Amino acid sequence: MNEIFTLHVNGEDREVRDSWLGENLLDVLRDRLGLMGAKGACEQGECGSCSVLVDDELVCSCLVMAASATGQAITTVEGVAPVGAPSDVQQAFVDAGAVQCGFCTPGLIMAVHDLLDRSPEPGDTEIREELAGNVCRCTGYGRIIDAVQQVAVARRSAGGELGAST
Amino acid sequence: MSVIDQTTTTTPRHGALGTSPTRPDGVEKVQGTYAFSSDISADGCLFGVTLRSPHPYARILSIDLSAAWKIDGVQAIVTADDVPGQLTYGLISQDQPVFASDVVRYVGEPVAALAADDPEVARRGMEAIVVEYEVLTPLLDADEAISGMRDPIHPDGNVIRHQRIVHGDAAATGDVVIEGTYEIGMQDQAFLGLEAALALPDSGGKGIELHVATQWLHEDRHQIAACLGFDEENVRLVLGGVGGAFGAREDISLQVHCCLLALRVSRPVRMAYSRGESFLGHVHRHPASIWMRHHATADGEIVKIESKMVFDGGAYASTSSAVLINAITLAQGPYRCPNAVVDGWAVRTNHLPCGAMRGFGAVQACFAYESQMDKLAAACGIDPFDIRLRNAMTTGDTLITGQPVLNVAPVEECLRATSALPLPDEPVGGLLLPDGSQDAMKLPGGAGRTADAADVVRGIGWGVSIKNLMYSEAFDDYATARCRLVDSPDGVHVHLKFATSEVGQGFVTLAPQIARTVLGIDAVVIDPIDTQVGSAGSTSASRQTWMSGGAVNKACGVVRDLVFEQVAAANGWDATGLFIDGTDIVDPTSGSRLDAAAACSGLNIDETVEYRHPPTTEIDENGQGNPHTAFAFVAHRAVVDVDPDLGLVKVVQIATAQDVGRALNPLSVVGQIEGGIAQGLGLAVMEEIIQVDGVIRNGNFTDYLLPTFLDMPPVLATLIEQPDPLAPLGAKGVGEPPCISSTPAVVAAIRDALAQAGVDAALDRVPVRPADICL
């Protein structure tokens, strides 16, 4: 049974026409809306590659029924920053060597933005605990932690400068 | 032209060799716009699925497709009857059917493939195929496979390879004799980017283009073309974005199936495995059983090793014979050993097929010989660090095959540099929280809050290893690269073309660094990675920096020399004296300098070269010969906290010093080291594919445990940079060593902790499970 419904993705209303009822948000984003940024790697919420924000909550989109997300604000990695103008977290991943194969990266970008929005200066254990739902098989996580810390430091100093000038 | 009175630059400019420029694909990857093979589709594309055997060993009595054909939307079904060319494929021997026709030999073996308009329709169609089986008694015991008591489960027999090594005095004995039997479980590569491909048939059906994530485009093409009955030039492969590999993409998985379906319907077909299917669809790290005995002098000098190694290759050969040779020829580890008697078997069973995984045989051997080194240390009353130092190999020492180790062999330096790294500054159980309470996340068991800090014991363990680099045993191992100069509105660009699979390791970062250094031109473009140039060989065996790096270096060198000739002729210089300094061409006689990119404007130069490493040899019936190309070394020191009562382990720190030759991109080297150690830690305490009666029981990420942020400790790494004169850029491959001796180091640290707690646990098997510690 197909239903037509509307999802609010990255600030735009997107009509979903050919989805089957019960299709998960990951498949709808990728196969129906052409947003290929979220990745599927385990189909059971273990790896975090499909992480997106739904009403500012970090979720595994493979575990969310797409039709249940109507009326909620969905943010995918494509909504983080314009193409060619990466966010501070995205740029830090590139600069710190946090990207190898890159398959886990879009999910981690979402998780790190979410972490730093909630906790601007996370300690090492907090970073590890908060990101433990995102599996990376290439990096051993060291450079990712470095990237997170670089952003936290940069944001603090930027905030400090801003504070001094006002 | 300007004449600059300036000395030669000594610090490499950013982007050249020795610096760490960012990945050229980095921004696409962080923004989600990088196209992995699972992201690629085409207009009018069908979706293909694979029907797989539910039995480890059974005879196929009939396959009934009639119900599947009745499902609206099913467009193509192919079985063994539809394979137009060679019916089997394989990397070393072609013993694996494209589709099983008479017998299935493992749970998950492909029997048919089906394409439909939609993935769900395809799955329904697949479920409607009726296969009647006569279930046979599976062969699941490796020793039984060797015994000859069982009828062959495959026409090629139950022993894939047996090889013996006899070196020196086989009868030699030592004052101290210690032995053990060690087991290594089956590990999965668990790359995150699942198998996926898109096949685009040529109109007329005489050729096909396949976009696929693979480690070796040309070998895939070779096997695909044979099975399709096509000439190789009619099969074009394009590298789809690769989401990790670690050995699992060295063999064919869905390639032939996808092409067959697409050719059958003359439409594009894409296939994409699920995680559960991926566990069945690619080869794994061999489970192995290794008996080993060391003879040594009373003061701990190794006199002889004896070993029997049995590798369970599963149903098909894949690279089992080469994995076995790595294991037995490296059985001595990075230590001098004058005498040896080693027997190795790679056998066929009805388990999942095994083949390449990072470390490739060296991993299994290392767990055995490093466990033995600790036993030897204890028996001789010597510290585990000192016994390794006492036996450490150096350049000129020989392997038990009689092959001299001609590379730099800084085993002692690796050990000493690792030892010099600081131990963790946090106490057992970690620092207390500000409120004075214990931080559960710092204890074994973590958020489970199960361990009692008072019971936790800290241990330290060592692991050191040797890894052969590149391909062995007389294999014609080469890589191809093309370099050309292209004028563009914003200056001359260097275009590099190669078929080297970028799987995440960063060759796309390194290749431009080489070109910038050799040619002095910063603008480097990498052309599409496909089969429109000669083979690069596989992205495996830690070989691409050496091999494809060697080819790119050689191609750029040829181009540079042609540039020098033309520039010299135009300026009245002697071409033989010219050199590149930074971005300048320098004539030392006149002291003149030219901007290299400007000097290349208008030059039409396009060169393709092959790079080969020196030939290796077969080994004889006693395992003697020079089978390997080069060697790299590494030391690991692990610190772990253990709760002996609960069998819980927290790895607190890994320190390492690795023989890298020369760090061409230090940040990438660190990434390989940390990532490899994570996989070594996984094998030590977490990762194992469980099969019961030939059926996988944990083929998903809920039950197959991968190290997370919380499982990985900080890594302290020192790079031992002794440029290897035998390596084209002085650099050794760095991908595999990190995951080899990190595993035994972690296990040794657990044993050390348990010894302090008065617990005697052999821990002769990896992964170490809680019950191995506390029961």
pLDDT in tens, A31-40: 999 999 999 9
Interface test with A, best of B19, B46, B120, B192 (most A CBs within 10 A): B192
Which of B671, B701, B708 is opposite residue A42, by nearest beta carbon? Answer: B701
Q: Which residues pair with B609 in a beta bridge?
A: B481
Contact B25 A102 (CB under 8 A): yes
State whether residue A25 sits within 8 Å of chain B by CB: no
Residues of chain B falling short of pLDDT 70:
1-10
Contact B712 A91 (CB under 8 A): no
Q: What is the dihedral of CA A81, A83, A87, A90, to 10 degrees?
A: 120
Whole-number pLDDT of residue B329: 98
State whether residue B601 sits within 8 Å of chain A by CB: no
Q: Are residues A75 and A14 in the same domain?
A: yes
- Residue pair A6/A16 in contact (Cβ under 8 Å)? The answer is yes
Contact A129 B441 (CB under 8 A): yes
The tokens 């600790």 sit on which residue?
B374
Query: CA-to-CA distance for B109 and B60, rounded, in angstroms?
Result: 12
CB atoms within 10 A of CB B170: 12
- Residue pair B731/B545 in contact (Cβ under 8 Å)? The answer is yes
Round the average pLDDT of chain A to a whole number and report it.
94
State whether residue B676 sits within 8 Å of chain A by CB: yes
pLDDT confidence band for A161 (50 / 70 / 90): low
Contact A143 B678 (CB under 8 A): no
pLDDT in tens, B300-336: 999 999 999 999 999 999 999 999 999 999 999 999 9
Q: Which residue of B has its CA nearest to A108?
A: B30
Which of B26, B29, B275 is opposite residue A42, by nearest beta carbon? Answer: B275
3-state class (DSSP) for residue B100: coil
Question: Distance between alpha carbon B688 and the CA centroid of its chain, in Å?
Answer: 17
Query: CA-to-CA distance for A144 and A140, rounded, in angstroms?
Result: 9
CA B160 to each of CA B142, B244, B267, B287, B443: distance values in angstroms, whole numbers, following the listed order = 11, 28, 39, 15, 45
Phi, psi (rounded to 5 degrees) for B85: -110, -140
* B residues 210..269 contacting A (CB < 8 A): 241-246
Q: Which residues pair with B648 in a beta bridge?
A: B643
Contact B27 A104 (CB under 8 A): no
Q: Are residues A92 and A151 in the same domain?
A: yes
Interface test with B, best of A24, A95, A100 (most B CBs within 10 A): A100
Stated pTM of the model: 0.97
Cα of B536 to nearest chain A Cα, Å: 19
State whether residue B120 sits within 8 Å of chain A by CB: yes
Whole-number pLDDT of residue B689: 98
- The answer to whether residue A159 scores a pLDDT higher than 90 is no
Which of A81, A90, A140 is opposite residue B712, by nearest beta carbon? Answer: A140
- The count of structural domains within chain A is 2
Check whether the bond before A106 is cis (ω within 30° of 0): no
Q: Are residues A109 and A72 in the same domain?
A: no
Which residues of chain B have a CB within 8 Å of the CB of A83?
31, 33
Phi, psi (rounded to 5 degrees) for A16: -105, 115
CA B449 to each of CA B24, B383, B427, B646, B661: distance values in angstroms, whole numbers, following the listed order = 43, 35, 18, 12, 44
Spatial CB neighbours of B101, under 8 Å, sequence gap ≥ 6 = B60, B79, B80, B81, B87
CB atoms within 10 A of CB B545: 31
Last residue within a domain, chosen from A23, A58, A79: A79
Cα of A102 to nearest chain B Cα, Å: 5
Nearest to B354 by CA among B186, B159, B109: B186
A76's enclosing H/E stretch is none
State whether residue B714 sits within 8 Å of chain A by CB: yes
- The answer to whether residue A166 scores a pLDDT higher than 50 is no
Which of B36, B504, B710 is opposite residue A129, by nearest beta carbon? Answer: B710
All domains of chain B in start order, with CATH: 2-34+478-612 (3.30.365.10), 37-137+194-242+249-272 (3.90.1170.50), 403-463+631-774 (3.30.365.10)
Contact A39 B192 (CB under 8 A): yes
Q: Are residues A119 and A160 in the same domain?
A: yes
Q: Are residues A30 and A97 in the same domain?
A: no
Q: Are residues A71 and A99 in the same domain?
A: no
State whether residue A94 sits within 8 Å of chain B by CB: yes
Please, what is the end-to-end C-alpha distance for chain A in angstroms? 58
Query: CA-to-CA distance for B551 and B608, rounded, in angstroms?
Result: 9
The string of DSSP codes covering B297-345 is -TTS-EEEEEEEEEEE-TTS-TTHHHHHHHHHHTTT-SB--SEEEEEEE
Last residue within a domain, chosen from A27, A47, A79: A79
Cα of A108 to nearest chain B Cα, Å: 9
Nearest to B112 by CA among B153, B137, B83: B83
Q: Which residue of B has its CA nearest to A51?
A: B32
Report helix angle B384-391 to B411-419, nearest 10. 160
Cα of B4 to nearest chain A Cα, Å: 34
Contact B30 A102 (CB under 8 A): yes
Any idea how long chain B is?
775
In the sheet that holds B2-3, the strands lie side by side as B2-3, B592-595, B584-587, B579-581
Q: Are residues A56 and A110 in the same domain?
A: no
Q: Which residue of B has its CA nearest to A43?
A: B275
Q: Are residues A93 and A74 in the same domain?
A: no
Please give the residue range of the domain that contains residue A68: 5-79
- Residue pair B620/B473 in contact (Cβ under 8 Å)? The answer is no
Which of A80, A105, A125 is opposite residue B441, by nearest beta carbon? Answer: A125
Whole-number pLDDT of residue B439: 87
What is the interface size between A and B, counted as CB pairs within 8 Å? 179
CATH of the domain at A138: 1.10.150.120
Q: Are residues A99 and A75 in the same domain?
A: no
Query: CA-to-CA distance for B215 and B356, rounded, in angstroms?
Result: 11
In the sheet that holds A51-54, the strands lie side by side as A12-16, A5-9, A73-75, A51-54, A57-60
Q: Which residues of B664-693 are buried (b: 16+ CB within 10 A; e: fewer)?
A: bbbbbbbbbbbbbbbbbbbbbbbbbbebee
Q: Are residues A112 and A159 in the same domain?
A: yes
CA B120 to each of CA B126, B281, B721: distance values in angstroms, whole numbers, following the listed order = 10, 20, 54
Last residue within a domain, chosen from A79, A111, A128: A79
Which residues of chain B have a CB within 8 Å of the CB of A104?
192
CB atoms within 10 A of CB B183: 15
Whole-number pLDDT of residue B446: 85
3-state class (DSSP) for residue B632: strand
Q: Which residues of A89-126 are buried (b: 16+ CB within 10 A; e: fewer)?
A: bbbbbbbbbbbbbbbbbbbbbbbbbbbbeeeeebeebe
Cα of B214 to nearest chain A Cα, Å: 13
Whole-number pLDDT of residue A20: 86
Nearest to B627 by CA among B477, B412, B729, B408: B477
Spatial CB neighbours of B708, under 8 Å, sequence gap ≥ 6 = A132, A133, A134, A135
State whether residue B118 sits within 8 Å of chain A by CB: no
SS3 content of chain A, % helix, strand, coil (to 5): 45, 15, 40
Any idea how long chain A is?
166
Nearest to B304 by CA among B178, B465, B164: B178
The string of DSSP codes covering A77-140 is GGGTS-TTS--HHHHHHHHHT--SS-SSHHHHHHHHHHHHHH-SS--HHHHHHHHTTS--SSST
B563's enclosing H/E stretch is helix B547-571
Which of B36, B194, B678 is opposite residue A140, by nearest beta carbon? Answer: B678
Q: Which residues pair with B116 in a beta bridge?
A: B47, B74
CATH of the domain at A73: 3.10.20.30
